[in-house]
Amino acid sequence: MFEINKPSPLSIARAAYQPKMPLALQGNVKIEKGAATESAGDQEQIKKLFPSTYGLPLITFVAGAAQEHKEINVGVILSGGQAPGGHNVISGLYDGLKKLNPSNKLYGFLGGPSGLIDHQYKELTADIIDKYRNTGGFDIIGSGRTKLELPWQFDKGAEICKKLNISAIVIIGGDDSNTNACILAEYYVNKNIPIQVIGCPKTIDGDLKNASIETSFGFDTACKTYSELIGNIQRDAASALKYWHFIKLMGRSASHIALECALQTHPNVCIISEEVAAKKWSLRDVVDMIADSVVRRAEKGFNYGTVLVPEGLLEFVPDMKALIAELNDLLADDTEFKQVRTSEKNAYIERHLSDKNAETFRSLPPFIASQLTMERDAHGNVQVSLIETEQLLIEMTKTKLAQLEAVGRYKGKFKTLHHFFGYEGRCAFPSNFDADYCYSLGFNAANLIDNGVTGYMSVIKNTYYATDKWIAGGVPISSMMNMERRNGKDVPVIKKALVEIDKAPFRCLEQLRGVWSGPEDHYAAPGPIQLFGPEEVCDRRTRTLYLETMEKEGKLD
């Protein structure tokens, strides 16, 4: 009577979805090499660091004639946080390889980059792949955050590739993982190790984009998932009339997710970290902006509303940034700190900070102060997803409103609820856009490998438009690099794309937020992602992609 593990009707129907691909990838594929590239910055230094993979040409695929394809074995790695569509990159890669030569094999390294180093792998066969088509998650092979950056790790990787006769590795990851993919590619070329390395742009955060990458996969689905929830909450708020909802949204550093969700849902307040940093706002300035909306709405009797808070906010507030940087150094070796009794930890930190940062630390509610001293991630950074910034803002807004009430400038009720939308969106069923985009990225990667290139990112362009207008190809990863100071050293990295406050998506928010902040409601409820139905509903692009494309094409006022 009860069946365990029975797939839902939606899973069954969705498994049959055939992702759409650019025309060039649908038949026989021919490679066209374009102009030689230069790095995004610091050309001389990058050229020296990547002598073999610097300056390679752009690649575009076009329809070609049938030809023989040699047999190849490929390894694939999922790196970092989950993003909807990862399984489709792998199924696209698998199908692309099998189409080129049915004898080709695909191996998945388990648990992220550590699978390559520790030789943990499994062969991905048709049975396995079919179970994961068009599903969310990274569970087909698992992911991890081990950094692939040291020669001994590269050598261990080469060892297992030799054993399995693997001649290409596809790394599906964010800016750091793709930076490391480029370093790995360069290492193998210089050591005459016959292994190609190809990257794929992943992250819900949307901060892996540049002149060559229009969007990272997963951003579309994650933002639509959060926007559905925000829209629902706003309807509830406008029905119940009694809560202000503070909603923290994922995005470790950049505020692209908060911005996109605001453009989809029209909240009363949306904070953009990059604006806070550019205008050197303090937390008090941020709280004033929130309190202003609360007060104006209360005057009309609207004691409810929504505030979107980007996860990385605190690191963009100048005072807090300085404090966090000193805390990161202080806790880099936390052996002594770990011995300190819990009740005395905050006092211990205060004693060890510089005067200015100690003052900022003292001004924080104790729960936030403690969260700032929690264990760092593998890169020595504070784990922003664990800091309850939304609660901090609630506390500070309460204090501000009490002050305004005391001088007769506010009379209202301020009951609050807080939410954090992050993990809920990272493994959602990929939207049609992400399902198509990811499958194409994977299929395209197979063609890059077949053409013998290395140190390239699989890239699909023109993505605002219908898939038959998409352009498939490859871009040398070295062309996306510049030098940045990390942990006291100048290193080559792919530049993280933060929200640019002079670009269309932010300017759109800036133009509309005065109206959204009230007193009247202007909420929008985009509803759930639709997987079946009319194209204008199911294949709708994000507002960010729309605005960026229109701006690039000079079609915005």
Structure token digits, residue 196 = 């190609």
Structure token digits, residue 164 = 């399995």
The distance of closest approach from Cβ of residue 376 to ligand FBP in the complex, given in angstroms and rounded to an integer, is 12
Interface residue with ligand FBP among 303, 385, 399, 482 (CB under 6 A) is: 385
Q: Based on the shown chain and the rule CB under 6 A, indicate whether residue 311 belongs to the binding site for ligand FBP.
A: yes
* Cα distance between the two ends of the chain: 61
Q: Based on the shown chain and the rule CB under 6 A, indicate whether residue 174 belongs to the binding site for ligand FBP.
A: yes
Structure token digits, residue 488 = 């006291």
Inter-CA distances, 498 with 151, 196, 225, 274, Å? 31, 30, 21, 7
For residue 125, give the DSSP letter: -
Stated as kind and residue range, the H or E segment containing 386 is none
Q: From 79-87, 112-120, 121-129, 258-266, give the range in contact with ligand FBP by CB under 6 A.
A: 79-87
Q: State the angle between helix axes of 318-330 and 355-363 in degrees (0 to 180), rounded to the nearest 10.
A: 110
Tell me the site size for ligand FBP, rule CB under 6 A.
Answer: 14
The distance of closest approach from Cβ of residue 72 to ligand FBP in the complex, given in angstroms and rounded to an integer, is 28
Binding-residue pattern over the window 339 to 378 for ligand FBP, x denoting contact by CB under 6 A: ----------------------------------------
The distance of closest approach from Cβ of residue 311 to ligand FBP in the complex, given in angstroms and rounded to an integer, is 6
Structure token digits, residue 282 = 């303090």
Q: Based on the shown chain and the rule CB under 6 A, indicate whether residue 388 belongs to the binding site for ligand FBP.
A: no
State how far the Cα of 86 lies from the Cα of 144, in Å rounded to an integer: 13
Q: Is 473 helix (H, G, I), strand (E, B) or coil?
A: strand
The distance of closest approach from Cβ of residue 241 to ligand FBP in the complex, given in angstroms and rounded to an integer, is 33
406 residue type, one letter: A
Instruction: Specify the residue, 209 or 252, whose C-beta has the smaller distance to ligand FBP.
Output: 252
Q: Based on the shown chain and the rule CB under 6 A, indicate whether residue 85 belongs to the binding site for ligand FBP.
A: no
The distance of closest approach from Cβ of residue 83 to ligand FBP in the complex, given in angstroms and rounded to an integer, is 6
The distance of closest approach from Cβ of residue 265 to ligand FBP in the complex, given in angstroms and rounded to an integer, is 19
φ/ψ of residue 384, rounded to 5: -60, -30
The distance of closest approach from Cβ of residue 409 to ligand FBP in the complex, given in angstroms and rounded to an integer, is 37
Stated as kind and residue range, the H or E segment containing 134 is none
Site residues (CB under 6 A) for ligand FBP, limited to 222-281: 250-252
φ/ψ of residue 61, rounded to 5: -100, 140
The distance of closest approach from Cβ of residue 82 to ligand FBP in the complex, given in angstroms and rounded to an integer, is 7
Instruction: Specify the residue, 191 or 379, whose C-beta has the smaller distance to ligand FBP.
Output: 379
Residue 553, sorted as left (phi over 0), alpha (psi -120 to 50) or beta, turns out to be alpha
Instruction: Specify the residue, 320 or 449, whose C-beta has the smaller distance to ligand FBP.
Output: 320
Instruction: Specify the residue, 79 or 360, whose C-beta has the smaller distance to ligand FBP.
Output: 79
Q: Based on the shown chain and the rule CB under 6 A, indicate whether residue 476 belongs to the binding site for ligand FBP.
A: no
In sequence order, the 6+-apart residues with CB closer than 8 A to the CB of 162 are none
Interface residue with ligand FBP among 153, 203, 371, 440 (CB under 6 A) is: 203
Q: From 60-68, 80-88, 318-326, 404-412, give the range in contact with ligand FBP by CB under 6 A.
A: 80-88
Q: Based on the shown chain and the rule CB under 6 A, indicate whether residue 81 belongs to the binding site for ligand FBP.
A: yes
State how far the Cα of 131 lies from the Cα of 460, in Å rounded to an integer: 25
Q: From 24-32, 202-210, 332-340, 355-363, give the range in contact with ligand FBP by CB under 6 A.
A: 202-210
Q: Based on the shown chain and the rule CB under 6 A, indicate whether residue 315 belongs to the binding site for ligand FBP.
A: no
Inter-CA distances, 312 with 76, 106, 191, 226, 273, Å? 30, 37, 40, 17, 7
The full 3-state SS of 14-42, as one line of letters, equals HHCCCCCCCHHHCCCEEEEEEEECCCCCC
405 residue type, one letter: E
Instruction: Specify the residue, 434 or 450, whose C-beta has the smaller distance to ligand FBP.
Output: 434
Instruction: Specify the residue, 255 or 357, whose C-beta has the smaller distance to ligand FBP.
Output: 255
Q: From 78-86, 124-132, 270-278, 521-529, give the range in contact with ligand FBP by CB under 6 A.
A: 78-86
Instruction: Specify the residue, 123 or 375, whose C-beta has the smaller distance to ligand FBP.
Output: 375
491, 248 in Cβ contact below 8 A?
Answer: no
State how far the Cα of 240 lies from the Cα of 519, in Å rounded to an integer: 17
Largest CA distance in the chain: 81
Instruction: Specify the residue, 80 or 476, whose C-beta has the smaller distance to ligand FBP.
Output: 80
Q: Which of 95, 175, 176, 205 is catalytic?
A: 205
Q: Based on the shown chain and the rule CB under 6 A, indicate whether residue 80 belongs to the binding site for ligand FBP.
A: yes
Would you call 205 a catalytic residue per the annotation? yes
Interface residue with ligand FBP among 133, 158, 161, 205 (CB under 6 A) is: 205
In sequence order, the 6+-apart residues with CB closer than 8 A to the CB of 123 are 105, 106, 107, 108
Instruction: Specify the residue, 78 or 445, whose C-beta has the smaller distance to ligand FBP.
Output: 78
Query: Positive or negative, the Cα torsion across 290, 294, 297, 299?
Result: negative
Q: From 75-83, 160-168, 288-296, 394-402, give the range in contact with ligand FBP by CB under 6 A.
A: 75-83
Nearest to 522 by CA among 236, 238, 224: 238
Q: From 188-196, 203-211, 234-242, 316-324, give the range in contact with ligand FBP by CB under 6 A.
A: 203-211
Instruction: Specify the residue, 206 or 305, whose C-beta has the smaller distance to ligand FBP.
Output: 206
Nearest to 528 by CA among 433, 428, 423: 428
Q: Which residues are catalytic?
A: 205
Binding residues for ligand FBP (CB under 6 A): 80-81, 83, 174, 203-205, 250-252, 311, 384-385, 426
